[in-house]
Structures are given as structure tokens and as C-alpha cells.
Amino acid sequence: MPAIPSLTSADVPWRCPECHSALVTEHDGEPWCDRCEWNLDAAPASNAPSRVDRSLRRLDHKAGYDLSTTLFRTLAGKKAQPATVSLSEIALVGMTALILALLIGMTAVGLHLVITASLLGKALGLLLVAVAVVLRPRLGTARKVLSDADTITEAQAPALFAVVREVAAKVGAPMPHTIATTSRWEASTLVVGLRRRRILLLGLPFWTVLRPQERVAVLAHELGHFVNGDGSRRLALQPAVTVFGTIADLIDPRQVLAEVRDRVNGNVRPSAALLAGLVLLPVVNTVRGALLLLHMGTHALAARSSQRAEYYADDLAAQAGGSTAVVGLLDVLLLTSRLKTRIGTRARQKAGVIGWRETVENTRAEYATSAGQLRQLSIREDASIFAAHPQPGLRVRMIQAAPHREPAVVLTEVQAAAVDAELAKYEERYRREIAEHW
Ligand SMILES: [Zn+2]
Ligand SMILES: [Zn+2]
């Protein structure tokens, strides 16, 4: 089953208007030219429920595509630099300060009303405090992040800690305070809580199916975020990039609509309050649309610096793990949905890590010839100003545009097997979870 069936000229009555090559497509998506990339920017079909959501999605795709391809052109082939503070970030931090001041003000006025005002005033005061609480900035907590993870100590996993320490030293990153594993397809770092604890999460099914050098690359990328101070940057921008979306969700009228529909279907008379809600619907929808546009605007402002930070982390990954390993890692990411489905099947057949790895290697071999097209397709399909990372296809190109790097940290098969052995005790429990959910 090839990933991207090339359309023969019989299937498509036209060729690329730019370079006259045959067009390609996947399933029934918009065709594009894999030679000159004509029409690669076409928006994927959206199944969003409402017209407003569909137009916002189209706008997001266009803005995300333009932003990521422009940023790529700005950075490709230049020496990788950590993201510096930009004008848009200063604007967002200013907005964060304003939001915090507003929330503190709302809380103060709310509490004052609760204590001194009449009954109606007290209710209004409570509402103000409640809204401020919902919109408060979140620092995250280690407990929450680790709630469905298994924390690993150095005594339990000396080989794993040795690799992490070596990679951290190579990229100039501090060690994480906590290393934990999960049953998820992930590798991530977070900085949480008032004490800003650094956490490294390595999802067992993701980590173990990577080739040893790719594991070095993924560690270097993740630890690279500690070098960048990306945690503090995210924290400073968070209120500005989340507040409008949260308010838009709070006033989402779909709840009102669903209730009216239920009552009409059940021949129950809708209450006066519901009917009033219905009358206000156009107003609420307009306000919600405006809030969502603001939400997108703040994300567009933040996306550039977060994508720059990802490219920088990728460059650190290439320095430590080598360029080939980073490209391999990104090609695995491109196959995520296919790999998860197949690993799920293997897990249901009672296969553990060895079986998952075999499936992943087979799948990689199967798609090796369509890698170029899969990378191109990701530039179209993953284009969004909400995406934390640039599209894998652009990340591959950024690595290829830089000078080729040989690995500075080598993880041998023996070392990799020692780490596997340390993590083996989670394998069967995770296998059952994967068998159920993937
Ligand atoms: Zn073409
Ligand atoms: Zn990253």
C-alpha cells in the first residue's frame, strides 16, 4: 500500500501548469506537483461543524502556511541562533501584564462587592471573582504532569541517566529534576510550578522504536528547550495567547442550541432564559468570532518565536546526534498516525517492544520511497499558527540546508539495550494500555 499513489495522466486530466510534471495526491486530497510544489499550499478539506469555524480554519491554514514558509526562507542555511526577544513578544508580554492587572482588579472589585454590596451586588462580585479564577495564568504542577507517568530514579536507571547527562553536557543544558516515562507516543520537556521544576517525559513506545542515534537526537532536542529558556518564554506569553480562546469557549452558544433542540424534540417548552439566549445568539456569535480572531492573532504573534526555538532545538539535536539521526527522527514523526495504528495492532497480538520496533522498521522501509512526498504533504497539512512546531517537512529541509553534522554523542547498541532493560518493567503494563487505546 503506497502512501502517495502517483496519479497517472489518465486519473488527472491535467499536468502541473508550471513545470508540466504529472501531479500527485494522497487519497482524495488536492493534488500538487512534487517537483515544483505547485498547489502545495491548497487548504485541506475541513469537516468543522459551522461555517464560521470552517472559515477560521482556512484563515489559520493560510496564515500558518505563509508564516512557516517565510520563516523557513529567512533562516535556512544561516547559522542557528536561539530565538531573541522580538517586537511581537514584547507586545505579548505587555498584553500579559495588562491581563494580569485586569484580573487582579476584577478580583479586588469582586471581593469588595461580596463583602459590602446588596444581594445582587454580591452575586455580581462572585461572578467577577469566578471569571478571574477561570482566566488565571497557570504555572502547571509536577503532580498533574506526572499523574499518569512513572517517575524513574537514577538508582533504577543508571544507564538512562548516563545518556541524558552526556547529551545535556553536550548541548549545554541543565539536567532535568525529574525523568519519567509514559505509555504515550511522546517525548517532551516541561518547566512547571513556582519552583520551575524541569521535567523530561519519554513515552516508552516512542523512545524504544527509535534507532539509538535518533534517541540521542530526541534527547538533545528536548533538553535544548532548557538551554533556550523556552519554558519562561512560554510562561510570559501564556496569558496573552490563551485568554481570548478561554473566553470564546466560555460563551460558546452550542450548549444553548443543543438544549433548545432537545427540548423541542422532546416537546418540552424551552424556558424563558433559553429563549432569551436564542435571541442573543447572533450577538454572542459575533463576539465569539471576534474573540477567536484575537486568539488567532496572538498565536500568530507567538508562533514565529516558538518555531524559531524549535529550529534551534533541532540544530542542537543535529550537533549531538548527527544530521542523519534528526532526519530519521522527523521521518518517524511523519509516520505517526500509521505507526500508532500498527503498534496498536501488534500490542493486541501481545507483542512488546521488539514487535513494535519490527513494525516500525518495516513501515519505514515501506514508505522510504515516498519520504519526499510525505515531507511535502506535512508542509500543507500541518500548517497552522497553533502548531507548536514547524512542519516536519520544513524541519527536515532546515537540517539539510545546514552543513552535515556527524554525531558528537554516540549511543551504542549495547548502551541502548542497557537502557531498554531498565525500562522493561513498564513494558507489559503499557502494552495493555496501548492494546486498548491505539
Ligand atoms: Zn510543477
Ligand atoms: Zn521541541
- Ligand 1 centre to CA of 23 (Å) is 8
SS3 (DSSP) at 280: coil
- Ligand 2 centre to CA of 407 (Å) is 19
- Contact call for residues 71 and 390 (beta carbons, < 8 A): yes
- Contact call for residues 92 and 301 (beta carbons, < 8 A): yes
- Ligand 2 centre to CA of 387 (Å) is 11
What's residue 286's pLDDT? 87
Whether 289 shows a pLDDT value over 90: the answer reads: no
Cell matching residue 233: 518564554
Mean pLDDT along residues 151-162:
97
Whether 86 shows a pLDDT value over 90: the answer reads: no
- Ligand 1 centre to CA of 27 (Å) is 20
Q: Which ligand is nearest to the CA of 389?
A: 2
Mean pLDDT along residues 416-432:
97
Domain residue ranges of the chain, discontinuous segments joined by +: 1-39, 87-95+151-437
Shortest CA distance to 59 belongs to which of 307, 388, 386?
386
SS3 (DSSP) at 243: helix
Tell me how far apart the alpha carbons of residues 215 and 209 are, in angstroms, rounded to a whole number. 9
What's residue 277's pLDDT? 72
State which residues have CB under 5 angstroms from ligand 1, the bound ion: 16, 18-19, 21, 33, 35-36, 38
- Ligand 1 centre to CA of 65 (Å) is 19
pLDDT averaged over every residue in the chain: 89
- Ligand 2 centre to CA of 369 (Å) is 27
pLDDT in tens, 315-369: 999 999 999 999 999 999 999 999 999 999 999 999 999 999 999 999 999 999 9
For residue 97, report the phi and psi dihedrals to the nearest 5 degrees: -60, -45
Whether 7 shows a pLDDT value over 50: the answer reads: no
Whether 3 shows a pLDDT value over 70: the answer reads: no
Tell me how far apart the alpha carbons of residues 65 and 399 are, in angstroms, rounded to a whole number. 19
Residue 307, number of CB atoms within 10 A of its CB: 25
Locate the DSSP E strands across 67-194.
Answer: 150-152, 178-182, 187-192
- Ligand 2 centre to CA of 263 (Å) is 47
What's residue 239's pLDDT? 86
What's residue 392's pLDDT? 96
Residue 134, number of CB atoms within 10 A of its CB: 12
- Contact call for residues 431 and 350 (beta carbons, < 8 A): yes
Shortest CA distance to 281 belongs to which of 266, 262, 265, 259?
259
DSSP secondary structure code for residue 390 in this structure: -
- Ligand 2 centre to CA of 185 (Å) is 14
Q: Which ligand is nearest to the CA of 308?
A: 2
∠ at Cα 380 (375, 385), nearest 5°? 115
Long-range interactions of 283-291: CB distance < 8 A, separation 24+: 284/251, 284/253, 285/52, 285/253, 287/251, 288/52, 288/248, 288/251, 288/252, 288/253, 289/52, 289/56, 291/244, 291/245, 291/247, 291/248, 291/251
- Residue 281 pLDDT class (50, 70, 90 cuts): confident
Q: Which ligand is nearest to the CA of 19?
A: 1
Lowest-pLDDT choice from 96-100, 206-210, 411-415, 433-437: 96-100
Dihedral Cα 222, 211, 430, 190, nearest 10 deg: 0
- Ligand 2 centre to CA of 381 (Å) is 19
- Ligand 1 centre to CA of 438 (Å) is 38
Q: Which ligand is nearest to the CA of 36?
A: 1
- Ligand 2 centre to CA of 310 (Å) is 5
Whether 243 shows a pLDDT value over 60: the answer reads: yes
